[in-house]
Structure 1
Amino acid sequence: MNTQWHLPGELIERYTTGHLEAVQVMSVETHLMGCARCREAVPYEREWLTAGWERIADAVDRPRPRPVARILRRCGVPEHVAVFLAATPALARGWLVAVTATVAAAVAVAHLVDSTGAAWTVHPLLFFLTVAPVLPLAGIALAYGPRVDPVHETQAATPMAGSRSLLLRALAVLVCAIVLTGLATPLLPGPPGLAAAWLLPALALTATTLALATRVAPPVSAAVLIVAWSCAVLTTGGLTGDGLVLFSPAAQILYGAATVLLIPLVHLRRARFDPGEPRWNRPSASKN
């Protein structure tokens, strides 16, 4: 004898017309999940149900892009690249805040020095010109690697791994730093040409960081260059009495030439970024 219980017709009618309490609805739907006979007794429009499931599947399979990804798409960036860049490690947000704060502080220091009339000892733009070129390096150090990216090992098995991942994120970091610093440049005291003297050093230091990253970890190469650049500015300024020696026209030519030479080198050595090649990118072996 079949003792299975089925939904009464009156209960099905109240369910379909929306006259049941939330707890009763949950109970009815739990029964419908395991009872084919009662499911057949519930009237529904097949086309409406099919369309509803298609909308749900589309929302699950194609989630709404993040705001950053939508902005990048509007700028002409391919969809898969935009989604990848929008998924940059969370530390990148902290870097953007730090860059904005640092640039604002550099502008404030420049105006402070200029207003105190101390330009004969410290040039108003010196702090800004020293800090601006190394801002992208900190972003590159936080853009790639097993220590900063929680999905690094998973991503290593995708086509975006290795050099493509690092170079795309490095480019995004460089563009963001240039845009933020460029917006601050008109706010600085002094001639516009001198205020923009940070750009070529920034490009040269970024290219050098990427070239060194084929041998050592990006955080190490970035840290070494940040220290070396700061020491070079202070040393040359102390020895020559002119803190802007490294921002002279002759120095700008050297920065431009170095950038032109280093970019092809990074391209030729891009395979050294791939997982398993550089020692800094190899997953640590488990100890038994």
Structure 2
Amino acid sequence: MNAHLPEELIERYVSGRLEPVQVMSAESHLARCERCRAVVPYEREWLAVSWAGIEDLVDRPRPRPAARLLRRCGVPEHVATFLGATPALARGWLVAVTAVTAFAVAAAHLVSRDPQTAFNGLVPFLVVAPVLPLAGIALAYGPLVDPVHEMQAATPMGGVRALLLRAVAVLVTGIVLTGMATPLLPGPLGLAAASWLLPALALTLATLALSTWVQPLVSATALTVAWFGAVLISAKLTGDELAPFSPAAQALYGAAALALIPLIYLRRARFDSGEPT
């Protein structure tokens, strides 16, 4: 307990000739040994200038643009900082949502001016748009995609709160981007372009509910495949590609969403439990 760093070891430490493991061991000792710290030479002026250069950055790092925007919208600072750093708002996902939205506008303008044909031009967009939030959720949370998941799960922002915050951020982002594109659609397609919202909400809630049993990446992938399969089967059985977006189907999505909310609440403790039930 009374051992101190040898002079030769301190010289090698100062000159940078120690192995990384030895550096960690030496610094661990220096942190609690005032006598050894006093022996280590340093330039007082250099230390003062260096610390002045990083003090503000360490104490209050500059918020990211997304976090600053959220703060202006009234989001609490700690939540804005968390969402600003989340993978759910990564450039890749935003580019994907923007690309699909642009595709919808282009498809609607390229097809015939006939109202029914123009409406059918939205089918690819209506099919793909509901699963875009699932991709964001899948890439936002869990040990399979987040290298610091274990550390974050132990914080007050971990677990169900982190997943729900990121899910809301993903869903809201998708809705905003799609809403911005709606006025660009031709003729009577404005309201039709919004028929993806209820399916997206139902699929998002289903992903959260299923994530209490499996990882979000697995649940999102499974539900994406199931959604595409259901759309294809529905089109073959009814002969109508728009059957999954009919008023009856919309009512079904709304009912499913209402049923999934209490299920998610009841199973909220299972998000990070690691248990198979």
What TM bracket, shorter-length normalisation?
0.7 to 0.9
1:226 aligns to what SS in structure 2? helix
Tell me, yes or no, if the aligned pair for 1:125 and 1:188 is still in contact at 8 Å: no
Partner of 2:142: 145
Aligned to 2:18: none
Cα distance in 2 for partners of 1:162, 1:142 equals 15
Identity percentage of aligned residues: 68
Which ranges of 4 or more aligned residues in structure 1 deviate by more than 4 Å?
A: 53-56, 117-122
Give the count of matched residue pairs: 233
SS of corresponding position for 2:43: helix
Deviations 1:182-238 (A, max 9, x none): 222232343433221111111111111111111111111111111211122222122
Give, in whole Å, the separation in 2 of the partners of 1:227 and 1:174. 19
Q: Does the 8 A contact of 1:136 with 1:202 survive in 2?
A: yes
Q: Quick one: which amino acid aligns to residue 170 of structure 1?
A: A
1:155-174 CA-partner distances (Å, limit 9, x unpaired): 12211111111111111111
User: Which residue of 1 is the match for residue 94 of structure 2?
Assistant: 96
Cα distance in 2 for partners of 1:216, 1:32 equals 53
Structure-1-length-normalised TM-score: 0.73
The one-letter amino acid of 2:171's match is L
Aligned twin of 1:133: 130
The 8 Å contact of residues 134 and 226 in structure 1, kept in 2 or not, is answered as yes
User: What corresponds to 1:180 in structure 2?
Assistant: 177
Q: Which residues of structure 1 form unaligned runs of 5+?
A: 1-30, 40-48, 281-288
Q: Which secondary structure state, in structure 2, belongs to the residue aligned with residue 198 of structure 1?
A: helix
* Residues 110-156 of structure 1 deviation map (CA, whole Å, 9 limit, x = unaligned): 322335x6956981221111111111011011000112112212112
Residue 76 of structure 1 and its aligned partner are, at CA, apart by 1.0
Q: Which residue of 2 aligns with 1:285?
A: none
Secondary structure at 1:196's aligned position in 2?
helix
On the 8 A contact 1:107/1:128 being kept in 2, the answer is no
The 8 Å contact of residues 271 and 277 in structure 1, kept in 2 or not, is answered as no
Q: 77-86 or 122-131, which moves further after superposition?
A: 122-131
Q: Deviations over 1:19-59 (max 9, x none)?
A: xxxxxxxxxxxx9937xxxx9xxxxxxxxx9xxx8896344
Q: Which has the higher helix share?
A: 2
- Secondary structure at the aligned position of 1:84 is classed as helix
Could you list the runs of 5+ residues in structure 2 that have no partner in the other structure? 1-40
Match of 1:33 in 2: 43
